[in-house]
Amino acid sequence: MEHSILESRRFGLRVFRHVAEDVDTVALRDAILANDVDLLVLRLPASAWHRLPALGELGMPHLVADTLVDYEADLGLGPAAAPRNPGLELRECGPAERPLLAELVDEIFDDYSGHYLANPLLDADAALAGYREWALGHVREKAAPGTGANAEGHTVFLARLAGEAVAFACCAWQGDAVEAVLYGVRRSATGRGIYGDLIRITKEHFRRQGLARMRMATQLQNDASQRGWAREGFLPRGARVTVHVNALLRASALPALPLEHRFGAAELENPSQALGWLLARKAREALRGRRVRSVRFRELRPLRAGRRCSGRISFPVVEAQPQVAVMQLRDENDAPCTLVYAELEAQPRVEGAALAERRGPTARGPELRA
């Protein structure tokens, strides 16, 4: 599990990334807890799709954010086809052209349905900034040695037609393979075969550099892009599922509240209600009159009557919808024992407060899935 510093800075959360071949919920949960993860971006092979229900055992909100399809072409099969637009000129983007590249990315990817936009926790403008940052990160500050065996590097090509910048192509290579990282064409220039020409020209460029393979990946729903790569000789070689685990263990828009408590035997007859009441009582002032609407929890270790437990209540989402509070409890040995995710009312109570107080939060039981 790797801390993604750029994504953490961008979204104001502790973002981690992890690639796995299968779902090991115990190891995954232990790593999330140990790292105080707010958001885990988990990538799994599509062959592990049947294992996704096991993620419910994490006791943390999660969602399937996208499916990536991988394609590859053998560059040793011969030259790429000639471009449809003979006047299309590709040349490397230099540092002075970074503003132009940023402008292209903002126009092309402002509503792109990647995995970021699938998560209501993440800001759409910050997601767009991610694509901009990603593309700009491929600009080389100065000319570098050519590609080839055991070489690695990255670059961006800007495409111009009749003097106008109409597209870009971000590429990265290592060893004998190059990856088409991010390609895009201005909306005003679509429908003229420019996207296909980007593929043809970059494919031929790297073939001449002596590389053996070219790879790309795109979202499953991006069928237009897939048709374009397939026309240029790329074949599917696999698929990956992206899962977001919104653990929210560190983030808090309001000051987090420390707590200590000993549960009585009567309380533990209805743990969901007991946990909801504990959260509501301890967080009454911070909630500014807002009632706890529902509670979902996961016992990591059994709650024991009369034993001291400690922890914290955080408020990671208080402006967007739904508003969320998170309570983490640790047992007398300081081991994590319970995770509680509570949905809050959108507005403070105005009428019927006394009745709502008597009724308490709604219990939904232990299973949790966003």
**CATH number of the domain enclosing 282:** 3.10.129.10
* pLDDT tens digit sequence for 67-117: 999 999 999 999 999 999 999 999 999 999 999 999 999 999 988 878 998
Is the domain of 224 the same as that of 305?
no
Q: What is the mean pLDDT of the chain?
A: 88
Is the domain of 165 the same as that of 308?
no
pLDDT at 151: 64
Per-residue pLDDT band for 291 (boundaries 50, 70, 90) equals: confident
Is the domain of 205 the same as that of 263?
no
pLDDT at 287: 78
Say yes or no to pLDDT of 366 above 50.
no
pLDDT at 289: 72
CB 14 within 8 A of CB 3: yes
User: Which residue matches tokens 């800001």?
Assistant: 123
Is the domain of 82 the same as that of 224?
yes
Is the domain of 282 the same as that of 339?
yes
CATH value at residue 77: 3.40.630.30
Is the domain of 240 the same as that of 327?
no
Task: Residue 274: give the domain boundaries.
Answer: 257-363
Is the domain of 141 the same as that of 172?
yes
CB 169 within 8 A of CB 180: yes
57 phi/psi in degrees, rounded to 5: -70, -15
Per-residue pLDDT band for 143 (boundaries 50, 70, 90) equals: low
Q: Structurally, how many domains does the chain consist of?
A: 2
Whole-number Å distance between alpha carbons of 328 and 311: 5
Is the domain of 237 the same as that of 312?
no
Is the domain of 47 the same as that of 185?
yes
Choose one of 216, 245, 274: the last residue of a domain.
Answer: 245
Q: Is residue 296 part of a domain?
A: yes
| Adjacency order of strands within the sheet including 292-299 | 257-262, 308-317, 323-330, 336-344, 292-299, 362-363
Mean of the pLDDT values across residues 213-226? 93
Is the domain of 138 the same as that of 30?
yes
Q: Is residue 325 part of a domain?
A: yes
What pTM does this model have? 0.85
